[in-house]
Amino acid sequence: MASPQPSIILSFRRTFALLIVLVVLPSAGLSGFGVVAIINERAAVEKRLEATWQGTLETLTEDLPAALRSARFVLVDGQPRLVTSDGRLLSTPASFRVEGKQVSSPDAELAAALQAVQSSSADFPAGTSHFSLMVGGRATLLAAERQGDVVHGVRLSQDAVEALIEERAEGQVTSSEPVRFVLLARQEATGEGLMGKLALEVAQARASALGPLVLAEQVLPPPLQDFRLAVVPTGEDPIARASTRNRVVYVVLLGLFYVTLTFGVVYTGRVLYREARLSRMKTDFVSLVSHELRTPITSIRMFIETLALGRVKDPAQTQQVLQLLTQETERLGTLVDRVLDWARIESGRKVYHREFLPVPAVVDAAVTAFRAQRLEGELRLSVDLPENLPQVQVDREAIAGALLNLLQNAYKYSKEDKRISLIVRADRKWVDLTVEDHGVGISPRDRRRIFERFYRVDNLLTRKTEGSGLGLAIAKHIVEAHGGRITLKSELGKGSRFTIQLPVGKA
Ligand code: ADP
């Protein structure tokens, strides 16, 4: 075949480029959004976990003052201690005493801190109270009890208070995540103005980098405001786990998306290319058929003119001219029949009248028609038709036509050596009709395509030989419509062997 016309290939390329632009670019944009989503994924997971825990934290921070209020002071070895109603110790041994404006404590730092806030015993509410205070730069929880003018107080154990919170949290599990509730010192704004804010942010960043991973936190209500209650995971980092899982899901989905997209683009590209090629073949076919029609019509006109002008006087010569006329009309008829046949097959209007027939009936029909074609050159057709062949259920005309086409091709595509064998073989399931020639043969590349409609091998012999590229496509269609198949073995320059396989007819 001639190489594909540039205009068709160009228009195919343009359509394909448009397809790529319309499909691939938006999907690349979509993936970009996905990448941004992946980057933001960690922040999103953090937010979600924080929201999960916020409610619990709010309840617990409200609960804590009440829990502390229910604890009471006892004297152990003359020293005050704070114990819960079920007897658990909440305080450390560090204690203090305020009498008027006089603060005393074995812990010098504690005494200094209390003095600094200028407490006088009158500032303390009557009964038990709790508060937080910065002692030696560290936030500390304190409990005090005023009796008249004297105040006794203790420093609370952070561990014991955390255990108390833990106990209260038990009924409020909001997530299956293993977590711990801890008290962290609140980060104070250390400075005013821009520099102060900057210093605070740096301090916060360092604290979050060095300190435990905090899922959510809540500042305690006054007077415990120097502390925040925080949720800290005890198992592996749930943020990392959740975001890794989401990333894996996203990457897998993205992979699937691209595989499907690639498949879609490749498939569409192939369909487009095939359509472009077919449309070129159809154009070729129209010009081919017009050319094929013109040749016999010109000859016919020439012969008729010869006869009309009375140029041929000799009856023998007249007979010869008439014979040539018949031959040309037959050629014309065959071509028109083939085109009509194909049109009928394409539109699905082809009907087969199948009947039970002996194999020789079909073979003889094809061989007789083949021999009747006054072929030039010496034809040496051998037919090997064994006895006792099973019957086949076929449309005689159609199958004989397909076989005739193989015989004609064997003749057309052979040079000097016109030996053709028609061999019939059968087993329990199949009847094989094989046509073997010693002609030009077919290359492996063309072998795959010669059954396509309008396809003709591009070689000198084919170009010199009349044909439409429809014969084998029609034959294949007919054989397959009968439940059979058509196969080919060929070697370039040595010959070809086409086999029609028909299923044995079961009466
Ligand atoms: P055509 O009308 O061109 O013969 P076909 O469909 O019958 O159309 O055949 C398609 C092409 O296959 C032919 O153009 C020819 O190049 C090739 N071909 C078919 N049969 C043979 C054969 N026996 N030997 C070599 N080439 C063949």
| Structure-token pair, residue 320 | 């010869």
Whose alpha carbon is nearest atom 7 of ligand 1? 471
| Structure-token pair, residue 445 | 């590349």
Q: Is any ligand 1 atom within 6 A of the Cβ of residue 450?
A: yes
Q: How far apart are the first and last CA of the chain?
A: 45
Measure 409 CA to ligand 1 centroid, in angstroms: 6
Measure 357 CA to ligand 1 centroid, in angstroms: 28
Q: Is any ligand 1 atom within 6 A of the Cβ of residue 408?
A: no
Helix ranges, 87-224 (H): 108-116, 158-169, 193-210
Whether the Cβ atoms of residue 399 and residue 425 lie closer than 8 Å to each other = no
Measure 465 CA to ligand 1 centroid, in angstroms: 10
377 vs 192: CA distance, rounded Å: 113
**pLDDT value for 1:** 43
Neighbours of 456 (CB within 10 A): 24
Pocket test for ligand 1, best of 285, 419, 456 (most atoms within 8 A of CB): 456
| Structure-token pair, residue 151 | 């105040």
Q: Is any ligand 1 atom within 6 A of the Cβ of residue 434?
A: no
Cα torsion through 136, 140, 144, 150, rounded to 10 = 0
**pLDDT value for 409:** 94
Measure 456 CA to ligand 1 centroid, in angstroms: 6
Measure 461 CA to ligand 1 centroid, in angstroms: 10
Long-range contacts (CB closer than 8 Å, 24 or more residues apart) made by 477-485: 477/345, 477/350, 478/352, 478/395, 478/398, 478/399, 478/401, 478/402, 479/399, 479/402, 481/350, 481/352, 481/398, 482/352, 482/354, 482/393, 482/394, 482/395, 482/398, 482/399, 484/430
Whether the Cβ atoms of residue 215 and residue 233 lie closer than 8 Å to each other = yes
399 vs 502: CA distance, rounded Å: 10
Mean pLDDT, 10 residues at a time, the chain of 507 residues: 54 81 83 80 80 86 85 85 87 87 86 79 82 85 87 90 84 73 73 64 62 81 84 78 80 89 88 84 76 82 89 87 88 84 82 94 93 74 94 94 95 91 95 96 93 86 80 93 96 96 85
Could you give the 3-state DSSP secondary structure of residue 201? Answer: helix
Whose alpha carbon is nearest atom 8 of ligand 1? 469
Q: Is any ligand 1 atom within 6 A of the Cβ of residue 413?
A: yes
